[in-house]
Structure 1
Amino acid sequence: MKKNLCILLLIVGALIGCSTGQHVARQQHQKSIVVLYENDVHGQIDGYPKLAGLRDAISQSDTAWTAVVSCGDYLSGGVACSLRKGEYIVTLMNSVGYDAVTLGNHEYDFGMPRLMELLPGLNTPAVCVNLYDYQGTEPLMAPYVIRQYGSQRVAFVGVSTPESMDAEAYSFFDDKGRQLYDLHTKETYQMVQQAADKARKEGADYVIVLAHLGELESETGVDSYGLAAATRGIDAVLDGHTHHAYARTDIANLDGKKIPVSSTGTQFANFGKLVIKDGKVYTTLVPAAENTYTSEKVAATLADVKAQIHEQTSRRLCKSDFELTINDASGKRLVRSGETNLGDLVTDAYRKAVQAEIGLTNGGGLRNSIKAGVITYGDVLNTLPFENYVIKMEATGQQIMTMLEKCTAQLPNEEGNFPHVSGMRFTVHSKSHRVTDVEVLDPSDNSYKPLDLQRRYTIGTIDYTLKGGMMNNCPQLPVTAQLYAECVADYLSTFANGMVDAAYARSQGRITFVED
């Protein structure tokens, strides 16, 4: 109770204490506006009652108008997302009551048709300036929505990362490679500017961008810092995508005015809070541990959703004495830049399921660690939440080498397509970005032999590999399709005495890193 009171007093203090700005004369007797924001929730559904509870507490203090918005990646990434393909998340977000949301790259995970089925059921607009039918002239979503708070009007403009055109290519192209949708990489900043200008003309007093771009420089040339610098007339950029948490970074816009850019991290690690008071915009983060407010209404919805999830996921598979992890020893995410025991196990499962020579998967597809103890089907779904299927494909040694070089070229930076392998080992030269000593396991004598660039190899992997930029245009061999979570669940069920083999206690040295 004392912690709650302290949080509320800090918020109220901020509302009262914000300095004046360009709208002072007109607004000095008005209540402030507090916009709570989140990004990259990825199925961490326990945060929704707390988000709504914080909003309700501020509203009840009668010091501010309140709003709740999302900067994307809410429909996919955990067991609650994968079951019913986002439907549970829509139910929870409707219970919270959002003012606006935008689209993250993982909103496209279940395919564009499924996204178009889900969004009409969401009781708030999904805004996005740059999602178009290919060669279409109008965006598929409203570029912005204007909300009224007292006598003040706030426009929320949405923008989605063009990286989705590569990472979620299967949603933007058909099976024959024909483009169906476009995110207009080169025009993204211009489209945001046009939406902001139009919203101002329609009477918006403030323009807040809900971005899912990330602050890091991208191969697309589109990021949130760049957006703030390339535009004018925008009051703040709330961002997602990189999972980094920062309360405020000021970026000078085209007029030299400093614009706050902010992001909450991921999975409700923080609750973002933007305050508008007398023309001044202020952003900060409330750590999840410091917010113990809870909405009873949303908590009841959550309990019902969890009961349905438990009924579908409680099947026991095995036990483990150790965590199957996506992280390094310090707890920092490793799976997109290095080998982990989880990647070893998953690729073993794929290789053995289709009796291939090599197993392969992308690190970005391994979403969560599996804790030590009893492992259930729900734990596997939490790690492998997408609708991917295990396939068997063929590739030449040269194609495999090209893939390894391409998918490790970003090191030491993270790469969603970082390759985890089975039945193969290789060395990465981190500075020169070379891959050497590639060897493939020969089952006839259980020894490793050098990769033959001319030979064709069979690979057990997931269909994303053929669609997501790792190994496009390789022939797929006929096998019975199996959901990748089911494949790994079956593999976990095969261990002797129901215990995960001790060989998986740590990564097995399939990838060696050399600093040269």
Structure 2
Amino acid sequence: MKKWLCCGMLILTSFSNFARETTLTLLHTGDTHGRGMSEEGIGYGKISAYAEAMRKNNHPVLLLDVGDAVSGIAMTDLSLGVANITAMNYMRYDAFTPGNADFIFGGEVLRTLDKKANFPFVSANVYYQGQQIFNPFVIKNISGVNVGIIGVTPLNAMVATTDNKLTGFEVSDPIAAIKTTVALIKNKVDVIIVMAHLGKVDPDVNIGKLLAAVPGIDVLVDGHDHIEVPDGTRIGNTIMVNVGQYGRFLGELTLTLKDKKIVAWRERLLDRTALAAVTTESHVEAFIQQQRAKSAATLSEVVMTLPFTLDGQREHVRSGQTNLGMLLADAQREHARADIAFTVGAFLRDSIQAGPVSLGQLRNALPFTLPLVTRDMSGQQIKDFIEHNYTDRQVISGAYAHVSGMTFTVDFSRPVGDRMTQIQVNGAPLESSKIYRVACNEQVSDYGIRQVPVRDRYEVTMASLLADYVNRHTALQPPAARIHVAR
């Protein structure tokens, strides 16, 4: 494959004879969060072998990733994402769109990863010092069909890490960026594919609003919300697919084209069972095993012993208090000697089983390494922040706050924004005007928290905080419930 830079755009070309009717297969991954390198899902070795078999049979294929790939498990995080990008190089990805979690190590690290990649990072709305830093689109000629691939990054990418790691970086409005880019290439291509790390859930910017505002998108490969769409779906005239999370599935979208237009399509999500007969690609698997061995000595160290399992299941930590969230908040509060502490569901990525816990297991559950901070907040500010947990009975949000130092009742018969009652702070009623010392991870940014100045900063990670807390409290008991829901 060759790369040419022309007129500010990157064009990837591969040549074959144009057939009046042809098929094109999009193999797509997304929201793997490093787990392409782990044994949890299908694994990069099998995905690579499946794609390579198609290439060897001269089947037109694109291998795409819609973001949140480079971080999320301890092995990939130790290399600041380099191991994951190297594996993707071996697999010969055609394009990658950075998601919010790909900014976790900072903007400059992501730019370094882009330089190390043998495939283009594609995003129309990421800027550094006012200039686009990634290709907004690529055009690939496949069997005589010009396929335009546009990428877009979510607005919340700029809160993935601390502000000092994102100085000079910004993300523009995703919908406006896609609208501009579609208009730019629509007369140059036959098929438009948008790789959108947006999801359906965000009320402000989501794929529903995108497709309503921007006609002419043939295929939308979605990510960000971790919700798989087993058979794909149509939204208006657009085919939408989403592979879900953690490398559990490989998406296979087969497009039938006649006269360079899509006339039929089929989406399948392939899991480990479906790919059981596929032999892993040897050089990809060898690299992964090498990385595992390289990190094993560090990650196999036992750092604590748990008397009970800590619940970090995604659906649980984003919708209610779990013992993992509460215990981590307790550890933060104790370390900072704060009145109140909270963590949010987005930081809690896996459960931790009872018994001896290795550093690797702990870091897989708590992968974020940003520091603990304290802020001085009034009782009213604290209440206003936590109220977002209770806008709806079935709320599922990465911003869901797990608390320490507080108890309260939630009454859903009351108006939104005023559903917390009987609020106690360490046994005393919350006072609206009183200033409390609040501890949380510096990455917490939702609902105005970052506008409150940092008082103290502690260069400790969430993983080390939890391990130290468990090791100090040798008679650890499951945390008691802190929230009562009125009937």
Tell me, yes or no, whether TM beats 0.5.
yes
- Could you tell me how far apart the structure 2 residues matched to 1:481 and 1:168 are? 14
Change (3 A) 1:172 1:468: farther
The one of 431, 441, 461 aligned to 2:440: 461
CA apart distance, 1:354: 2.0
Shift of residue 167, structure 1, vs aligned partner: 5.9
Q: Deviations over 1:420-451 (max 9, x none)?
A: 1112112223464311121111xxxxxx1111
Partner residue, 1:310: 296
The aligned residue for residue 234 of structure 2 is 250
Q: Do the aligned residues in 1 keep the contact of 2:137 with 2:149 (CA within 8 Å)?
A: yes
Give the aligned partner of residue 141 of structure 2: 148
Residues 421-500 of structure 1 aligned to structure 2 (within 5 Å): 421-430=403-412, 432-433=415-416, 434-441=419-426, 448-465=427-444, 467-469=445-447, 471-478=449-456, 480-496=458-474
Corresponding position: 1:43 with 2:46: no
Secondary structure at the aligned position of 1:421 is classed as strand
SS in 1 for 2:455: strand
Confirm or deny: 8 A CA contact 2:105 2:165 kept in the other structure. no
The letter for the 2-side match of 1:155 is: G
Q: Counterpart of 2:19?
A: 27
Aligned pair 1:77/2:62, yes or no?
no
Q: Report Cα offsets for 1:220-258 as digits up to 9, x if no partner.
A: 2x2123323332332210100111010311111xxxxx2
Are 2:254 and 2:266, in contact at CA under 8 Å, matched by a contact in 1? yes
CA–CA distance in 2 between the matches of 1:366 and 1:485? 10
Q: Is the 8 A contact 2:372 2:441 kept in 1?
A: yes
Distance in 1, matches of 2:375 and 2:62, equals 49
Residue deviations 1:143-162, cap 9 Å, x none?
11112333333221101122
Distance 1:401 1:343, change over 3 A: same
Residues of 2 paired with 1:75 and 1:244: CA distance?
Answer: 19
Residue 114 (structure 1) aligns with = 109
**Equivalent residues of 1:71, 1:211 under 8 A apart:** yes
CA deviation vs aligned residue, 1:82-117 (integer Å, no higher than 9, x gap): 223212211221122200011111112222122112
Aligned partner of 2:6 in structure 1 is: none
The one-letter amino acid of 1:83's match is L
Counterpart position of 1:509: 481
Aligned to 2:52: 56
Which residue is 2:9 aligned to? none
Q: What is the deviation of 1:173?
A: 6.5
Aligned residue identity for 1:477: R
Q: 1:93 aligns with which of 75, 88, 95?
A: 88
Confirm or deny that 1:273 pairs with 2:232.
no
Aligned-partner Cα distance in 2 for 1:418–1:233 = 36
Which SS does the other structure have where 1:334 is aligned?
helix
Alpha-carbon separation, structure 2, partners of 1:475 and 1:196: 41
Q: Which residue of 2 aligns with 1:335?
A: 317
SS at 1:290 equivalent: coil
> Which residue of the partner structure matches residue 4 of structure 2?
none
CA distance in 1, matches of 2:19, 2:266: 16
C-alpha deviation, 1:65, in angstroms: 1.7
Question: Do the aligned residues in 2 keep the contact of 1:249 with 1:262 (CA within 8 Å)?
Answer: yes
Q: Do the aligned residues in 1 keep the contact of 2:31 with 2:224 (CA within 8 Å)?
A: yes
Asked if the contact 1:225/1:261 (under 8 Å) is kept, the reply is no
CA contact (8 A) 2:18 2:144 kept: no
Q: Show structure 1 runs of 5+ residues with no match.
A: 1-24, 175-179, 253-257, 442-447
Q: Please say if 1:383 is aligned against 2:365.
A: yes
- Kindly state the Cα deviation for residue 193 of structure 1 after the two structures are TM-superposed: 3.2
- Counterpart CA distance in 2 for 1:230 and 1:142 is 22
Q: Per the alignment, do residues 304 and 53 of structure 1 end up closer, same or farther by CA in structure 2, a change over 3 Å counting?
A: same
CA distance in 1, matches of 2:247, 2:429: 46
Structure 1 residues 309-341: Cα deviation after superposition (integer angstroms, max 9, x where no partner): 2122121023335321123xxxx7111120001
**SS of structure 2 residue aligned to 1:67:** strand
Cα distance in 2 between the residues matched to 1:394 and 1:357: 10
2:62 is the counterpart of 1:67: yes
Matching residue within 235, 240, 263 for 2:242:
263
Question: What TM-score, normalized by structure 2, do the two folds share?
Answer: 0.86
Q: Secondary structure at the match of 1:482?
A: coil
Equivalent of 1:211 in 169, 181, 196? 196
Taking a change above 3 Å as real, the CA distance of residues 110 and 513 of structure 1, as seen in their structure-2 partners, is farther
Instruction: Please state whether the residue corresponding to 2:480 is helix, strand or coil.
Output: coil
Q: Which amino acid aligns with 1:509?
A: A
Deviation of the 1:125 alpha carbon: 0.6
* Distance of 1:411 and 1:82 partners within structure 2: 35
Letter in 1 for 2:306: S
Amino acid in structure 2 at the alignment position of 1:510:
R
| Greater shift in the superposed pair: 92-101 or 456-465 | 456-465
> Retained in 1: the 8 A contact 2:19–2:143?
no
Q: Which amino acid aligns with 2:49?
A: G
Judged with a 3 Å threshold, the aligned counterparts in structure 2 of structure 1 residues 101 and 173 are, in CA distance, closer, same or farther, namely closer
Of 200, 205, 210, the residue aligned with 1:227 is 210
Residue-by-residue CA offset, 1:135-180 (whole Å, 9 max, x unaligned): x3x5221111112333333221101122334566737965xxxxx4
Quote the offset at 1:345 in angstroms. Answer: 1.2
1:182 aligns with 2:167: no
Indicate yes or no: 2:212 matched with 1:238: no
Contact 2:106-2:166 at 8 Å conserved across structures: no
Contact 2:370 2:461 in 1 (8 A): yes
Query: Relative to structure 1, is the Cα distance of residues 172 and 406 closer, same or farther in structure 2, using a 3 angstrom cutoff?
Result: farther
Name the residue aligned to 1:255. none
Change (3 A) 1:164 1:172: farther
User: Are residues 1:282 and 2:278 paired?
Assistant: no
Q: CA RMSD in A?
A: 2.5
Rounded Cα–Cα distance in structure 2 between residues aligned with 1:225 and 1:105: 19
Question: Structure 1 pair 51/287, CA: closer, same or farther in 2 (3 Å)?
Answer: same
Q: Could you tell me whether the CA contact under 8 Å between 2:371 and 2:458 is conserved in 1? A: no
Rounded Cα–Cα distance in structure 1 between residues aligned with 2:486 and 2:107: 41
